[in-house]
Structure 1
Amino acid sequence: MNLNNLEDLKDEMKKLGFSDPLIAKMEEHMKNDDPAFKLYDEVKANRGQVDITLHFKQSGQSDYYYLNRLEAVHNQGKPLEEGQKFMVITKTEEGKNIVKKLENVAEAIDFFKQQKGNSELAVGKDAANKAMLANMEEGKINYVSRDFKREFYSPPLPQTFWLDHGKGFSKEQAANLVQGRSVYRDDLLSREGTPYKAWMQLDTEKERDRQNNLTFRQFTDAYGYDVKTLLDEYKIKEMADPKKAEALETSLINGNRPLITVEKDGQETKMYLETAVRYGKLNFYAENGKPEKREQFQKETGLEMSNVFAKKMEQGKDKEVAHGQGMGV
């Protein structure tokens, strides 16, 4: 195992937001000299969870490993409980059970559908403590749990995010993008190699590309969306504290949906806040997910500022660019 390579990959994974235990798993695979391997992680979502898969491959000419992509998929079903795994239990011709544990629902469904004989897709801590999700006999599926049908027959498609020596969308950013939110990047390169900055959002209004990925909708700085300026328009308690204000801005540019404090009906109330870059707005949501009218939280000068911004954004729309995964993202 090349120790310099290990050190570089550890730095890349930390930069992308992955944990020390996951980094330790990577090191174990490298020690075993596995030619290719995957690592799995998850991020809690507003609904369900986002499953992350990291793809590692060893060079054909040396012992160097490369982390060249991660896949993120938003599974809106019920997240697994602590210690649970997906399992495909297949009965051999000799009557023995072969149990294969899988890390995420997409891979579990795909592996189960590949079986030819008698097999069961289940979830649980082990084969003795499981709940059946689907079953097949003689290669034909004869049962799918009612609560699992949507996931089983219409599994969400993963989005691939390409990485270059630790540069690219982080775990946090990728998870937010597949949930439909926008992320700001200040380290992008055009096809000609020119640096630029832009808000990035997956374009769900267009067909997926040949690799089955959504392309990006981009809003460069010329578009005029300035999250700090927008935050200053509203009576948000956290904005009174410079450190909290900075943390709030950072959270939003990474695509998160942070919890903030506003006044509603004379009382302090918690709300979720989210960028709406395409429309030049910030969106407010009650803790139960219900949208709230943003105007009720606006400062007296906020409306005037919004009108100025609207004109600026309209001028910048012509400069909006939409690129696919071929960009340096």
Structure 2
Amino acid sequence: MNTKNFDFLKDELKYTGFGEQLYGELEQQLKQQAPQFQLRLQLAYHNSTVDHTLHFRRSDQTDRYFFNKYEAVLRSPDLDKERSHTFYINRNGGITTKEAYNLLQGRSVYKELLNAEEQPYKAWVQLDLKTREPSGNYKVKQYHDNYGYDLDKTLQQFHIKELQDPQQKEMLLRSLRKGNQHPVTALEGSEAVKRFVEASPQFKTINVYNEQRHAVMRETIQQQETPDRRQVQEKAVGLKESAEKRQSRRKGMTP
């Protein structure tokens, strides 16, 4: 068995989100030297489970094995039927197991990807859960930076306590970019309430949920215009209207 290859594969499993649970099975499979093999692992999230099938293949030229892809099957009591998608290790920007779960839930993940010329770029990735490709995978939608979705600026439109602390704010941004539904303390009217929020790049906003994770109107925690700001805007509009009236009178006096 190639021990360096074993160590490399262990790191890949760990950083993809599979932890250390499969190390023993992986070692046994590498010792058997089969051309290819699969490992399986189920992970639980909230009220759902995801069954993973990991695919490994030996090089045709050396004794090295490669972790090429994993299939993820989401099962949840909130869904009419299971959802499945295959994530390729070398071609999808390194989608972790938690990110795969979030994508199968319909949420978006912010990743650094490579274009056809191997140049890096960043984009929000989302699965179109209504459209299957010939391969059986869901169609993948991308929202690049030039699409105009700024998560930080979007969050500033809402009464979210965590935004007032730089460390908590950074944690919130990082979590939302991974596709998580993140718990926050929000202000609804004059009352502090617990809410879950998630990024919604397609519509350039966020989605908001209550403690039972049922969708609620985002406007309930959205910041309203302050009286001072409103007065400034009204004054500006009034000045503009006065100027237009003066200009109209001058035109009327012109022979």
- Quickly name the TM-score band, shorter chain normalised: 0.7 to 0.9
Q: Aligned residue for 1:199?
A: 124
The answer to whether the 8 A contact 2:199-2:205 is kept is yes
1:73 matched to 2:73? The reply is yes
Deviation digits for residues 255-288 of structure 1, max 9, x if unmatched?
A: 1111111133543321111111111110110111
Aligned residues: 227
Deviation digits for residues 108-151 of structure 1, max 9, x if unmatched?
A: xxxxxxxxxxxxxxxxxxxxxxxxxxxxxxxxxxxxxxxxxx98
Amino acid at match of 1:25: E
Distance 1:231 1:43 in 2: 31
Question: For residues 27 and 295 of structure 1, do their structure 2 counterparts lie closer, same or farther at Cα, with a shift above 3 Å needed?
Answer: same
What SS class does the counterpart of residue 196 from structure 2 fall into?
Answer: strand
Distance 2:40 2:121 in 1: 31
Q: Aligned residue for 2:194?
A: 270
Question: For residues 218 and 234 of structure 1, do their structure 2 counterparts lie closer, same or farther at Cα, with a shift above 3 Å needed?
Answer: same
Structure 1 unaligned regions, length at least 5: 79-149, 305-329
- Determine which of 245, 249, 266 is the counterpart of 2:173: 249
Based on CA coordinates, which of the two structures has the bigger radius of gyration? 2
Q: Aligned residue for 2:105?
A: 179
Amino acid at match of 1:74: L
- After TM superposition, the score normalised by the length of structure 1 is 0.63
Amino acid at match of 2:141: R
Q: Aligned residue for 2:209?
A: 285
Higher relative contact order (CA 8 A, sep 6+): 1
Distance 2:106 2:145 in 1: 20
Q: Aligned residue for 2:162?
A: 238
Distance 2:198 2:91 in 1: 30
Question: For residues 51 and 234 of structure 1, do their structure 2 counterparts lie closer, same or farther at Cα, with a shift above 3 Å needed?
Answer: same
Q: Aligned residue for 1:108?
A: none
Distance 1:204 1:38 in 2: 26
Distance 1:18 1:74 in 2: 16
Deviation at 1:47, TM superposition (A): 4.5
What SS class does the counterpart of residue 248 from structure 1 fall into?
Answer: helix
Deviation digits for residues 230-267 of structure 1, max 9, x if unmatched?
A: 12221111122211111111111111111111133543
How large is the RMSD of aligned CA atoms in angstroms? Answer: 2.5
Distance 1:35 1:180 in 2: 35
Please show how residues 34-113 of structure 1 align to structure 2 within 5 Å: 34-45=34-45, 47-77=47-77
Distance 2:136 2:114 in 1: 23
Distance 1:233 1:268 in 2: 16
Distance 1:255 1:73 in 2: 17
- Determine which of 295, 300, 303 is the counterpart of 2:219: 295
1:223 matched to 2:147? The reply is yes
Question: For residues 299 and 271 of structure 1, do their structure 2 counterparts lie closer, same or farther at Cα, with a shift above 3 Å needed?
Answer: same
Distance 2:188 2:133 in 1: 45
What SS class does the counterpart of residue 72 from structure 2 fall into?
Answer: strand
Distance 2:31 2:53 in 1: 20
Q: Aligned residue for 1:11?
A: 11
Q: Aligned residue for 1:103?
A: none
Deviation at 1:166, TM superposition (A): 9.8
What SS class does the counterpart of residue 56 from structure 2 fall into?
Answer: strand
Deviation at 1:222, TM superposition (A): 0.6
The answer to whether the 8 A contact 2:49-2:74 is kept is yes
Distance 2:133 2:92 in 1: 24
- After TM superposition, the score normalised by the length of structure 2 is 0.79
User: What is the identity percentage for the equivalent residue pairs of Structure 1 and Structure 2?
Assistant: 36
What SS class does the counterpart of residue 17 from structure 2 fall into?
Answer: coil
The answer to whether the 8 A contact 2:189-2:221 is kept is no
Deviation at 1:22, TM superposition (A): 2.3
Q: Aligned residue for 2:96?
A: 170
What SS class does the counterpart of residue 57 from structure 2 fall into?
Answer: strand
